[in-house]
Amino acid sequence: MTENERPLTSQVALVTGASRGIGAAIAERLAALGATVVLGGRKRPPLAETAARISQAGGGCEVAELDVTALPSVEGVAHLVEQKFGHLEILVNNAGIGGFSTPLHQLPSETWDQILNTNLRGVYYCLRSFAPIMIRGGRGHVINISSIAGKNALPNGAAYAASKWGLNGLSYSAAEELRAHNIRVSVICPGSTNTELSPHEGKDPRKMLQPADVAHVVEMLVTQAPQSFASEVILRPTLKP
């Protein structure tokens, strides 16, 4: 692969929820583009599987146990990144959990907390911890993986929808705060995607988006011309599943 085919050479990226699905696909795509990718996730064994695929393909990566719902965990990884690399150019906030089967009035409060803490508070913790590294470096991309549920009503999934509507608002506001530091914040809202997170009942997985489709959008965002940025991408399957 030529230098033009590896435009992220010398850059460092961190992907949360990188052990499987969309996060793993994004991490593998960024590594193929030349970035050294820090793989963040709560459990080391599945992260090691992603790391093995990246290494076998000739890419560079590091595994970091990371719980986005715990600020000390996120701050610890930020410290490790700065100590080891001294810079961070790409942050992909992908870690998330679902919840698609319970009416809001029947939803346990603990489930509400778990969904909101992972999908929304976790992104705040990551921005709080990693954005200063990007600011000191004078550039960066933050990409938040949201959902079409952040645009449309989702019966029996109100907590998940609320977390994604909140994530969209957080992303738009952070974009305005960070653009003066040459940091571009974008949000991707995929539709039905063939992962363990998405509800599949009555849907044809072959017609659904695949994790690689989301990774392709991330590639477009981090390689676009420096004078512009796409602040939001809504990604839909061509055919309704």
- The arithmetic mean of pLDDT across residues 185-190, rounded, is 98
Domain membership flag for residue 15: yes
- Segment 153-182 shows an average pLDDT of 97
Average pLDDT over residues 60-64: 98
The maximal CA–CA distance of the chain, rounded, in angstroms, is: 56
* In the predicted structure, residue 41 carries a pLDDT above the cut 80: yes
Q: How confident is the model at residue 240 (pLDDT cuts 50, 70, 90)?
A: confident
Indicate the DSSP class of residue 183.
E
**Phi, psi (5° rounding) for residue 37?**
-110, 125
Residue 172 appears among annotated catalytic residues: no
Alpha helices in the chain (DSSP H): 21-32, 44-56, 71-84, 109-116, 122-137, 158-178, 211-222
Q: What pTM does this model have? A: 0.95
**Backbone dihedral region for residue 40 (phi beyond 0: left; psi -120 to 50: alpha; all else: beta):** beta
CATH code at position 230: 3.40.50.720
In terms of DSSP bridges, do strands 36-41 and 60-65 run parallel, antiparallel, or are they unpaired? parallel
Does 105 map to a domain? yes
> Please, is 125 exposed, middle or buried when counting C-beta atoms within 10 Å of its C-beta (0-12, 13-18, 19+)?
buried
- Is residue 165 a part of any domain in this protein? yes
Lowest mean pLDDT among 99-113, 134-148, 161-175, 193-207: 193-207
Domain of residue 47, residue span: 3-198+207-235
Q: How many Cβ atoms are within 10 Å of 112's Cβ, its own excluded?
A: 16
At residue 200, the pLDDT reads 63
* Predicted pLDDT of residue 195: 86
Burial of 184 (0-12, 13-18, 19+ CB in 10 A): buried
CA distance 114 to 49: 26
Amino acid 111 reads T
Structural domain includes residue 145: yes
- Average pLDDT rounded to a whole number, residues 80-92: 98
End-to-end CA distance of the chain: give it in Å, rounded. 36
pLDDT above 90 as % of the chain? 89
On whether residue 147 sits in a domain, the answer given is yes
pLDDT at 50: 98
135 close to 197: Cβ distance less than 8 angstroms: no
Counting the structural domains of the chain, the total is 1
